[in-house]
Chain A
Amino acid sequence: MAYEYYPGTSLLHRLDPRTKIILFLYIIVLVMLIQDPVGMFTLLLIVISLYKIAGIPMSKVKSMLIALSPVIVLFVFLNIFISVPPNARIIGYLGSQPVAIESLIMGLTGGLRFTLFVFFARLLTMTTSISDLLVALTKLRMPVEAVVALGIAFSSVGVLINQLGTIKEAQMSRGSRVESRNPLVKAKALISVVVPGIYLTILRGLDIAKTVESRAFTYNPKGRTTRKTIKLTKTDYAVIIVAGMLTVIVAVVVYMFKILHYTYTFDYILSLLTA
């Protein structure tokens, strides 16, 4: 399920969605400033500990890490070709392409950064119900049509996944190799799943429009009641302020002392080993 909500009563669940959006912004700031993979990894561990606080099973975390590790490897691999900074330390060659330590480290940071984003974003959706999220967007002055459309889109994911499952079974029953290990064969076979999927999604779009009209959406959109309410509490303010202060402190330290330049830890370990 793409929008998974794990109901609970942890601190993260109780925070207003807007607070969580602000926390996300803090993370963005930190993630852009920190360059060293060790620093990034520390940040990732902090986010994972938030999962624990939110009461989300560690098995979920494990499966997410397993799913994302090929991505990290891909980042490292691709970065070999993307950037070789001047005065880089070359450790080998891939064909004619020099492989620099700096490229690998930068790639690692990039992969971890991506992983961190995914983890944090999913943490937010796992601890915020769709309706609360939508209310937050309304309060942030998003147009009501967009909010309703977003809500319907989220809710349709489950339906779509069911439909795709049925289509897959129907095609497998005609010999389509959608579960093949061979990526080329599988990709070709998936066309037979994607095409009906798109067709059905478009049809569903028409049905949704028909339903939305028949449930009086266009009666008076501006005068629409929002049933759920969200309120910023003392806890929210506390969290925003404390997290904000921490972010500023880390940002200042990193920026001023260039501690977390991307090869910082690597060089430090190297210096220890060669001392």
Chain B
Amino acid sequence: MSEQGDVVINIENLRYKYPGKEEYALDGINLKVRRGEIVLITGRSGAGKSTLCYTLNGLVPQFFGGTIEGKVSVLGYDTTKTPVGFMSSKVGILFSEPASQLISATVEDEVAFPLENLGLSVEEINRRVEEALRFVGMLEYRDKPPYTLSGGQQQAVALATVLAMKPEIYVLDEPTSALDPIGTLLILELFKKIAKTEKKTFIIVEHKLEEFSSIVDRVVVMDKGKIVAEGSPREVLGKKAEFLKKLGLESPQVSLFIQRLKEKLGINDDETPISIEEGVEWMKKHKKIIEEHLNPPSNRIDEANTPRNVGKKIIEVRDLVHIYPTTQTVALKGVSLDVYEGEMLAIIGHNGSGKTTLVKHFNGLLKPTKGYVKVYGRDTRTTPMYELIKLVGYVFQDPDKQIFSRRVYDELAFGPRNLGYTKEEVDRIVKDVAKTFGLDKYLNSTPFSLSRGDRQKVAIASILALNPKVLVVDEPTTGQDPTDRRIIMDLMKKLNKEGKTIVFITHDMNLVAEYASRVVVLHNGVKVMEGTPREIFSRVEELKKLKLKPPSITELFIRARDELSIDLPLPLTVDEALSYFK
């Protein structure tokens, strides 16, 4: 895939502790990277991936402090001693949060900033700024303030900033985690372009293993500060698919499925398909065995997801138009839909399609410009917000944008107190909800000292303290690793079984397939599709036009159905796909 030369990164027996911490963030890392290699690093949150990236330009240990042992040599320089400013001229890091790494007044200034720091001539700076912005497709935005751009555009600008520096080594720390599918596609295309034209060395940290497996040379898996697996994409993602699953990571669905199918059917070949195309080829080869063992069960996942008592219509949206007054943006252009009691509804669509705008009408945060929204029969245009929040609880994406109390107890009591409950009632509610979430031992602690996962729980618990009938969850999974996502969604599922209606917005199609009973697709402020996950995901061509795609396992079966000419049902998950065979 790429020519490789001398060793540019040489890490030996690296151990590192952040200041004031007991555990080692990096616990015995040995890694050699050659010039021109593209290396993917993956692992759960807290595995040490970002910390490892920070050692490459010296941020660890020089900026963060802490204690370091072992050797880190990048391009011949000892990064524990060489000034970070100097190392940064050779090693360009792209951080995961686009907004936090954009610090200038305009896009142009942003890309020029590092070049000014390097003391380049004005002509050279202007030339590189234009080149880099053109490369990422953001040249027309050069005079805009970065915060007015979408997440994908911001990340493209940040990438341009790193590109303009022309570093020898690119370090990209979860570059797509804050992006929607379109943003991810955009960045992925840019990487492919850079890899082809520049032949530089890349270290990429990612969870989206499927998307990136086709462009990397080597995959490194980390867990608890150690490297636990290393090899070519086929070796790690293909052969070790089961192992990755046990670690709480998400291997490509195709690999996982075929690995398990081989076991189940007793097929013993050496093939490890990791893409959909390879999967279909493999299935063609084993067409006979597949046909023999095909036995799809009669009850299926979406029937299992459909709650027994999907009942009456509780939210009614008719011809909803919403125009934001300050920017005059028409976010919703006439949307009509219903939400039924007890269902688990997923709302999907690209960034800017109007998903968040839509759901903010449910608790009264936004009022319709035209059309109406009725929640349990009450028109939101005339009902005060404090009435609506008793019915609809809105869980925001980032717990840190909500938590403010000195004790977890007060955080959980915030909602009920605002609604005017008595002291005794508040106390009862808080203790109840804390128990449900396993937070009782933290009631007197300060929320800021908890882990991110626990802070998320506090945020969700504080909404549930209002005992709403409907829970709206806005992108609960951004920036989370696959295991944390499941934990949150399983919690939602449990609440759903207890009778709460759940409306969730997500970009993760696998989650939609696994958890939703019904899906609504928005595009440019308009509803374009509606149905069960199975119905929606079978319309692959339409989804492609909307820049969405079904879970890989579903797509695999759609293609296999065509190319093998077998009447295969369409699975939504790997487990379901396996259940088709006996």
Contact = CB atoms under 8 A, between A and B. Distances in A.
B400 interface: yes
B275 interface: no
Interface in A84-135: 129-131
B385 A172 contact: yes
A151 B85 contact: no
Please indicate which of the listed interface residues B93, B119, B466 has the most CB atoms of chain A within 10 Å of its own CB. Answer: B119
A49 interface: no
Interface string B90-124: 00110101011101111001001111111111100
A215 B414 contact: no
Contact of A130 (B105, B119, B161, B402): B105
B89 to A, nearest CB: 5
Nearest to A215: B114
B463 interface: yes
A154 B147 CA distance: 12
Given A213-B85, A225-B125, A177 B418 contact: yes
A147 to B, nearest CB: 11
Interface residues of B, number: 64
A175 B161 contact: no
B473 to A, nearest CB: 12
Contacts of A223: 119
Contact of B145 (A158, A172, A229): A158
Interface in A152-196: 152, 154-156, 158-159, 162-163, 166-167, 169-177, 191-193, 195-196
Nearest to A130: B105
B402 A224 contact: no
B403 interface: yes
Contacts of B85: 213, 216-220
Nearest to B103: A152
Contacts, number: 164
Contacts of B122: 225, 227, 229
Contacts of B161: 215
Please indicate which of the listed interface residues B97, B146, B403 has the most CB atoms of chain A within 10 Å of its own CB. Answer: B403
B380 interface: no
Interface in B396-451: 396, 398, 400-404, 414-415, 418-419, 448
A159 B414 contact: no
A210 to B, nearest CB: 7
Please indicate which of the listed interface residues A154, A156, A221, A227 has the most CB atoms of chain B within 10 Å of its own CB. Answer: A227
Interface residues of A, number: 54
A211 interface: yes
A100 to B, nearest CB: 45
Nearest to B114: A215
B365 A211 contact: no
A176 B418 contact: yes
Give the secondary structure class of A's interface. helix
B63 A210 contact: yes
B462 A225 contact: no
Contacts of B118: 216, 219-220
Given A151-B105, A155-B104, A172-B385, A216 B88 contact: yes
A215 B448 contact: no
Interface stretch (B17-25, B386-394, B548-556, B569-577): B386-394
Contacts of A224: 116-117, 119
A173 B100 contact: no
A7 to B, nearest CB: 8
B121 to A, nearest CB: 7
Contacts of B92: 214
A226 B414 contact: no
Contacts of A217: 85, 114, 117
B59 interface: yes
B507 to A, nearest CB: 18
Contact of A215 (B83, B113, B360): B113
Contact of A170 (B57, B103, B401, B419): B401
B99 A159 contact: yes
Contacts of B101: 207, 211
B126 interface: yes
A257 interface: no
Nearest to A212: B103
Nearest to B420: A175
A7 B143 CA distance: 10
Interface string B317-354: 00000000000000000000000000000000000000
Interface in B48-90: 57, 59, 63, 83-86, 88-89
B83 A210 contact: no
B222 to A, nearest CB: 21
22 contacts: A7-B143, A155-B103, A155-B145, A155-B147, A173-B394, A174-B389, A174-B414, A174-B415, A174-B418, A176-B414, A176-B418, A177-B418, A204-B100, A207-B100, A210-B59, A211-B95, A215-B117, A216-B114, A216-B165, A220-B85, A223-B119, A227-B122
Interface of B: 57, 59, 63, 83-86, 88-89, 92-93, 95, 97, 99-101, 103-106, 109, 112-122, 125-126, 143, 145-148, 161, 165, 360, 363, 365, 385-386, 389, 393-394, 396, 398, 400-404, 414-415, 418-419, 448, 462-463, 466
Query: Which 9 A-B pairs have CB atoms at the shortest separation, nearest pair first?
Result: A175-B418, A218-B85, A195-B404, A207-B100, A219-B85, A215-B114, A130-B105, A173-B394, A216-B88
Given A170-B396, A196-B401, A224-B117, 12 more contacts: A158-B147, A169-B365, A170-B402, A173-B393, A174-B418, A175-B419, A196-B400, A214-B59, A215-B114, A215-B165, A218-B83, A225-B120
